[in-house]
Structure 1
Amino acid sequence: MEVSARLAARLAELRVERGWSLEELATRTGVSRSTLSRLERGEISPTAALLGRLCTVYERPMSRLLAEVESEPPQVVRVAAQEVWRDESSGFVRRSVSPPHPGLRGEVVEATLRPGTDISYDAPPVPGLEQHVWVLEGTVEITVDGHAHIVEAGDCLRFRLWGASRFRCPGPGQVRYALVVVLP
Structure 2
Amino acid sequence: MTWRSLLLPLALLSAASACGQRRSDPARVAEDLMRPAPVGAFAAGTPPATTEDCTVRTAKTCFDQALTLLAANARGPERLRALSLMGKACDGQVKDACSWLSQHVKEPRRVRGGPPDDPVFQEAFQRWREGRKHHVRVTCRLVQGGVPQRCEVREATLPPDLLAQALNSIQASRYVLPTLDGEPFECDWTIVIK
TM-score by length of 1: 0.25
Greater fraction of residues in helix: 2
Structure with higher Rg: it is: 2
**Structure with more relative contact order (C-alpha pairs < 8 Å, separation 6 or more):** 2
Greater fraction of residues in strand: 1
